[in-house]
Amino acid sequence: MGLLIALRILISYKLAPVIGIFLSSEGKSARLKELHRKNAVLIRESALEMKGLMIKVGQFLSSRKDFLPDEYIEELSELQDQVPPHDFVEIRQRIIDELGAAPEDIFSEFDKEPIAAASLGQVHRAVLKDGREAAVKVQYPGIEHIIETDIRMFEFLITLLRGKMGWINLRVLHEEFSKIVRAELDYVQEGRNADKFRKNFETDERVVIPRVYWKFTSAKVLTLEFVSGIKITECAVIKASGMDCKLLVGLLAETYAKMIFVHGFFHCDPHPGNIFAAEGPTIVFVDFGMVQEISDSTRRNLRQYARAVVEYDATDIVEALEKMGFLIDGADYGAIADVTQDLIDKYRYSTPEELKALTVDDIAEELNNIRGVINNFQVPNYFILLMRTIAMLNGMAYRLNPDVNMIEIARPYIREFLWGTKEESMTQIFTSLKRKLLELIDLPAQTHAFLKKANRGELSFKLGKGDMQGMANRLTSISDVLLLVILTVNASTAALFFAFLGNQTPSLVAAGSAVLLSLLSVFRLLKK
């Protein structure tokens, strides 16, 4: 069924230009909006009928306000927490089967109407015998069969696509995704995930993770401390409560930077139905089924990659991609670095609003520009969920502030986390210093080659957005460093000269100046 829906939507967009050939520009625009709405309704209704993974797909799409048309966002947002509830008779029986007693015997209060319903289960408010409020998450009866059917359907689709799609090995992705979704069916594991997040953020009062009431938890029933808040994308309600949406975006960026770069354990299903805002401001997480752990080595490589992105360093970006397994054997690293630099120059100052305005032709042109190196790439399996998470966070942040740039917001937080352990910090400092010194040593040879080409009239230039300013800054930096190096050498020579003559005081002054100048040289090298 999912395949038929996808084909139906694809065909509708292929036919749209033909059907609207005689329409005016305004008429074509109105018809396209109508088609967006119609297809979004089709996805939403199909997801509600099929439940399981289709709802998760719809939730993911609903978070991409920075990418999808508004008609899709409006329709699919209903999948975040407005899934039709299951029959309470079956929910009650599920609780009896799992906890050994009826809900009215376990709790002093138990609301029959759920406060939220999602892809795998629904949540009921309850009150424990000791008066504590609780949120009881109950898995839908028979959902295991639906999930297994969906997994087989996606396996069939992958077979049709011959197991690959561009950079992604779909078979490996399917195996990992199946493992994660099956793990979501185990509420005991979800409870352990919640405990781990709570421990990781126990010193940060701005992040709220509910307690697990283990006495009333099983593989299909999860009982958590009741927490409340405003859905994080309801910016008007948040503003009315006195909270600042920009502060929330910053807190969201900081929280995920800690999860990824510090803890190595992150929440990877950040759709608006799972994250709320409360006074403070604080961020409240309520679902812990889909998580991802990052190994220490991967975290180190991510640090290098994030540092390179923040600093717009194409060479380091490529090196980090190689370490993380993105580049296949025999890849053309020089060509990849050139393409990476071009993309940095073109999009480093772009906002999500500008990216959303890109047309299909713009994207096709960009893909054509990188066609020469695209076959050098592969997407490692572990990275898929991280990309999905960042995409959903970007969409969420866009709702809070349309002009947001997540990299710019996360920059001060990421910088704090990038250096890692003391040993990693020293290694990074020496590596950066070595590279800069090698660049400096190679400068005379490059200058000579440049002048030879200039004399022969063989120079050619390719300047992108921001290149002129970047070139001016780089030349200024190089001249500053060269001047400092020359002064350092002169000061050192003067120190030796005075020492040879036996003049101790001038020798010490000159030696101190040499040390100071050398430190300034190192600082300038590392800064740039």
Two structure tokens written together for 396? 């969420």
pLDDT of residue 318: 86
- Residue 466: the pLDDT is 45
- Residue 474: CB atoms within 10 A of its CB come to 11
Question: What is the domain range of residue 207?
Answer: 83-227
Instruction: Judge whether 278 and 284 are in contact, CB under 8 Å.
Output: yes
Dig out the tokens for 434 from the structure.
Answer: 């070595």
- Give the C-alpha separation, 477 to 201, whole Å: 41
Q: Quick one: 67 and 153 in the same domain?
A: no
| Separation between Cα atoms, residue 161 and residue 157, nearest integer Å | 6
Classify burial at 240, counting beta carbons within 10 Å of its beta carbon; exposed 0-12, middle 13-18, buried 19 or more. Answer: exposed
**Residue 87 per-residue DSSP state:** P
Bridge partners of residue 266, in order along the sequence: 292
Side-chain-facing half-sphere of 146: CA atoms under 13 Å: 19
291 three-state secondary structure:
strand
Residue 353 lies in a domain: no
Q: Which of 30, 63, 79 is the last residue of a domain?
A: 79
Dump the DSSP string for 441-504: HHHHHHHHHHHHHHHHT-------TTHHHHHHHHHHHHHHHHHHHHHHHHHHHHHHHHHHHT-H
C-alpha span between 181 and 151 (Å, rounded): 9
- Predicted model pTM: 0.64
**Is 136 a member of any domain?**
yes
Q: Which residues pair with 138 in a beta bridge?
A: 122, 221
According to the model, what pLDDT value does residue 89 have?
94
Asked whether residue 263 is domain-assigned, the answer is no
Query: Which tens digit of pLDDT belongs to each residue from 314-358?
Result: 888 888 888 888 887 777 788 888 888 877 777 766 666 666 566
Q: Check residue 222 and give its pLDDT.
A: 97
Angle at the Cα of 100 (from 98 to 102), degrees rounded to 5? 95
Say if residue 170 is in the same domain as residue 212: yes
124 sits in which H/E element? strand 121-127
204 lies in the same domain as 91: yes
Which pLDDT does position 519 carry in this prediction?
61
Give how far the C-alpha of residue 61 lies from the chain's centroid of Cα atoms, to the nearest Å.
15
Total domain count, the chain: 3
CA 157 to chain centre: 26
CA 281 – CA 20 distance, rounded (Å): 49
Of the candidates 49, 79, 109, which is a domain's last residue? 79
pLDDT at 464: 47
- At residue 488's C-alpha, the angle toward residues 482 and 491, to 5°, is 140
Among 18, 45, 79, which residue terminates a domain? 79
Task: Quote the CA–CA distance of 219 and 513 in Å, as a whole number.
Answer: 69
312 strand-pairing partners: none
Q: Is 204 found in the same domain as 97?
A: yes
| 141 shares a domain with 19 | no
Nearest-CA neighbor of 288 among 192, 363, 402, 389?
A: 192
pLDDT at residue 140, rounded to an integer: 92
Extended strands (E) in 140-206: 164-165, 168-169
Q: What is the pLDDT of residue 10?
A: 73
Q: In this structure, are residues 115 and 124 in contact, taking their beta carbons and an 8 Å threshold? A: yes
Question: For 260, which DSSP code?
Answer: I
175 plus 223 within the same structural domain: yes
For the stretch 16-48, pLDDT in tens is 777 777 778 788 888 888 888 898 888 888 877
Residues 70 and 92 placed together within one structural domain of the fold: no
476/245 Cα distance (integer angstroms): 39
Low-confidence residues in the chain, pLDDT < 50: 463-467, 471, 475
Question: What is the C-alpha end-to-end distance of the chain, expressed in Å?
Answer: 55
Together in a domain, 14 and 63:
yes
3-state secondary structure 262-286: HHCEEECCCCCCCEEEECCCEEEEC
Q: Do 147 and 167 reside in the same domain of the chain?
A: yes
Peptide bond into 114 cis (omega under 30): no
Structure tokens at 200: 């990781």
Does any domain span residue 73? yes
